[in-house]
């Protein structure tokens, strides 16, 4: 996909950071505990109310302690991490969530908090406001309780999410809503966007489902129809992607292992949330040492650089194709091979573009505002 | 009052130096600001050095006159304060 607009100084800087393997972002998966039981949940530990082919994997040890997290925050600050995501499970359910968040803000991280919102009360929203996070990213599961709760399997969760949105709105917090497009919601996309608009929040629609971390493909049973995916690209005003912070330009496919890393509740360091392979553990080595010397990470960086070339070489609809090497690794065993879901999305995008007389790849909406100050 | 002895960064502004350039994230406003080399130097040192020391160090480090360094420094501090980056 060619560069559509000139890069801003900020985007250019992030690309230089990736070239230099500067980890400007990181995510901490604080807990696997969750208060929902989503049918597409990719976490084999927390999978609830669903048939299992294998028992959940036992925990590899005790989860990281508060003190270990504080030490990690110091290490990440030293390494130059700016954007820090607290995720889960449900991050807010970590018993020391507020203490950890305060420690992160003390160290001047730009904090992103992923939540399903179910635990967000008026008091929670007020505390979040005091914390001054960069943003809250909240999952939505449908435009009404019946649809959403068919997915979350928790009665009342939709109403609690709506309450949460009211509280977050009243505190003036910046919220991005995220929806995985499944067959359960495929006829509600405009309604979900309208729901977001009622609260003044943008909605991001992700057409790709994630298989379970243990490779079990059961979430794919919820895959949306071709027509629903096409409608994402056909209809005006729907924003597409799994994050509002898409990087633009550069030689690398994404930030995996080059601009970002992920830490599990047990201290395993992964190249990103989706690349489920430990490249080290923070209980056995300092983060910087893992980042700079892990042979696996070196391999990941090579893969990350090779993916765009591989897409160009092997995918007929390459102008419309993205790839997630972490997902490919899980589903095909080869991070360089484009996963079937991304091939499907590329095929559909091409068809839509052709129908619309050369409209071309749909631009993702950039939300960043930026200024450059020169003394 | 930019002439005060030292300055204080706004804790609602997150920041790091990335590839030699300070990136300021204004958490409340949702904006990002990228500083150039001189701006980064000032941002990193403004809580420890007073205006005179900063101006002298800028003049030496970036090969400009002290007068020019001081003028630009004061303007930049004013700009940072106006943008909400400083308390």
Would the pLDDT of A3 be above 50? no
The per-residue pLDDT for range A160-174, each reduced to its tens digit, is: 999 999 999 999 999
Best-predicted range by mean pLDDT (A24-33, A36-45, A248-257, A350-359): A24-33
Residues whose CB is less than 8 angstroms from the CB of residue B54 and which lie 6 or more positions away in sequence, other chains included: B42, B45, B46, B73
Cβ <8 Å between B36 and A82: no
pLDDT at A213: 86
pLDDT at A276: 92
For residues A167 and A54, which has the higher predicted lDDT (pLDDT)? A167
Q: How far is B77 from chain A (nearest CA, A)?
A: 8
- Tokens read off for A109: 């991280």
- Cα separation, A320 vs A301, in Å, equals 23
Percent of chain A with pLDDT over 70: 92
Task: Flag whether residue A26 sits within 8 Å of chain B, measured between CB atoms.
Answer: no
CA nearest to B27 within chain A: A134
Closest in A83, A372, A375 to B72, CB measured: A375
Question: What is the residue whose two structure tokens read 């079990």?
Answer: A216
The per-residue pLDDT for range A14-34, each reduced to its tens digit, is: 999 999 999 999 999 999 999
Cβ <8 Å between A108 and B30: no
Q: Please give the mean pLDDT across all residues of chain A.
A: 91
Listing DSSP states for A139-187 in one string gives: EE--SSHHHHHHHH--TTHHHHHHHHHHHHHHTT--EEEEEE-BTTTTT
Residues whose CB is less than 8 angstroms from the CB of residue A44 and which lie 6 or more positions away in sequence, other chains included: A54, A56, A57, A212, A213, A214, A216
Task: Write down how long chain B is.
Answer: 87
Cβ <8 Å between A369 and B32: yes
Please check whether residue A111 is in contact with residue A105, taking contact to mean a CB–CB distance below 8 angstroms: yes
Would the pLDDT of A363 be above 60? no
Question: Burial of A141 by CB count in 10 Å (0-12 exposed, 13-18 middle, 19+ buried)?
Answer: buried
Torsion angle, CA of B63/B64/B67/B69, rounded to 10 degrees? -90
Cβ <8 Å between A375 and B19: no
pLDDT at A235: 79
- Tokens read off for A268: 């395993």
Closest to A97 (Cα-Cα) out of A74, A81, A119, A122: A119
Would the pLDDT of A88 be above 90? yes
Cβ <8 Å between A81 and B16: yes
Strand B21-26 relative to strand B13-18, pairing: antiparallel
Closest in A13, A368, A373 to B39, CB measured: A373
Task: Quote the DSSP letter at residue A110.
Answer: E
pLDDT at A362: 45
- Cα separation, A356 vs A350, in Å, equals 10
Burial A3-21 (b: 16+ CB within 10 A, else e): eeeeebbbbbbbbebbeee
Q: List CB contacts (< 8 A) between B21 and chain A.
A: 13
Phi-psi region of B57 (alpha: psi -120 to 50; beta: other; left: phi over 0): alpha
Q: List CB contacts (< 8 A) between A105 and chain B.
A: 11, 14
Task: Flag whether residue B87 sits within 8 Å of chain A, measured between CB atoms.
Answer: no
Task: Flag whether residue B61 sits within 8 Å of chain A, measured between CB atoms.
Answer: no
Closest in A109, A371, A375 to B33, CB measured: A371
The per-residue pLDDT for range A188-242, each reduced to its tens digit, is: 999 999 999 999 999 999 999 999 888 888 899 999 999 999 999 987 778 888 7
- For chain B, residues with pLDDT lower than 50 are 1-2
Centre a 10 Å sphere on the Cβ of residue A230 and count the other Cβ atoms it contains.
Answer: 19
The per-residue pLDDT for range A309-341, each reduced to its tens digit, is: 999 999 999 999 999 999 999 999 999 999 999
Residues whose CB is less than 8 angstroms from the CB of residue B78 and which lie 6 or more positions away in sequence, other chains included: B2
Q: List CB contacts (< 8 A) between B79 and chain A.
A: 373, 375
Task: Flag whether residue B25 sits within 8 Å of chain A, measured between CB atoms.
Answer: yes
What are the strands, taking DSSP E only, across chain B?
13-18, 21-26, 31-35
What is the model's pTM?
0.92
Task: Flag whether residue A10 sits within 8 Å of chain B, measured between CB atoms.
Answer: yes
Task: Flag whether residue B41 sits within 8 Å of chain A, measured between CB atoms.
Answer: no
């Amino acid at each position: 996909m060619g560069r559509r607009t000139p890069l801003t100084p900020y985007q250019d800087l992030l690309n230089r950071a990736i070239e230099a393997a500067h980890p400007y972002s990181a995510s901490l998966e604080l807990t696997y505990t969750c208060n929902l039981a989503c049918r597409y949940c990719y976490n084999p530990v927390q999978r609830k109310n669903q048939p299992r082919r294998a028992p959940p994997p036992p925990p590899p040890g005790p989860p990281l302690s508060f003190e270990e997290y504080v030490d990690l925050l110091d290490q990440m600050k030293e390494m130059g991490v700016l954007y820090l995501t607290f995720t889960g499970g449900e991050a807010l359910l970590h018993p020391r969530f507020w203490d950890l968040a305060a420690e992160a803000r003390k160290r001047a991280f730009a904090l992103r908090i992923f939540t399903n919102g179910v635990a967000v009360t008026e008091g929670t929203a007020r505390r979040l406001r005091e914390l001054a996070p960069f943003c809250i990213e909240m999952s939505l599961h449908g435009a009404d309780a019946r649809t959403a709760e068919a997915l979350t399997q928790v009665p009342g969760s939709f109403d609690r999410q709506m309450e949460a949105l009211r509280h977050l709105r009243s505190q003036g917090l910046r919220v991005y809503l995220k929806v995985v497009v499944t067959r359960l919601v495929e006829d509600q996309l405009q309604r979900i966007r309208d729901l977001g608009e009622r609260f003044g929040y943008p909605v991001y629609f992700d057409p790709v489902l994630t298989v379970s971390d243990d490779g079990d493909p059961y979430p794919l049973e919820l895959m949306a129809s071709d027509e629903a995916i096409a409608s994402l690209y056909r209809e005006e005003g729907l924003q597409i992607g799994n994050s509002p912070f898409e990087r633009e330009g550069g030689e690398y496919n994404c930030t995996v292992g080059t601009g970002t890393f992920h830490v599990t509740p047990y201290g395993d360091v992964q190249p990103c949330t989706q690349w489920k392979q430990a490249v080290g553990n923070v209980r056995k080595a300092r983060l910087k040492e893992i980042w700079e010397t892990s042979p696996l990470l070196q391999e990941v960086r090579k893969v990350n650089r090779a993916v765009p070339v591989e897409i160009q070489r092997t995918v007929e609809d390459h102008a419309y194709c993205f790839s997630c090497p972490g997902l490919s690794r899980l589903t095909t065993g080869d991070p360089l091979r484009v996963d079937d879901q991304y091939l499907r999305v590329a095929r559909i995008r091409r068809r839509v573009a052709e129908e619309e007389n050369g409209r071309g790849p749909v631009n993702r909406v950039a939300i960043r505002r930026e200024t450059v100050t020169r003394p | 009052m930019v002439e005060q002895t030292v300055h204080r960064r706004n804790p609602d502004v997150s920041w790091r130096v990335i590839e030699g350039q300070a990136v300021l994230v204004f958490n409340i406003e949702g904006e990002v600001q990228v500083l150039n080399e001189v701006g980064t130097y000032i941002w990193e040192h403004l809580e420890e050095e007073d205006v005179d020391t900063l101006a002298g160090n800028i003049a030496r480090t970036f090969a400009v006159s002290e007068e020019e360094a001081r003028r630009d420094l004061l303007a930049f501090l004013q700009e940072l304060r106006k943008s909400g980056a400083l308390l």
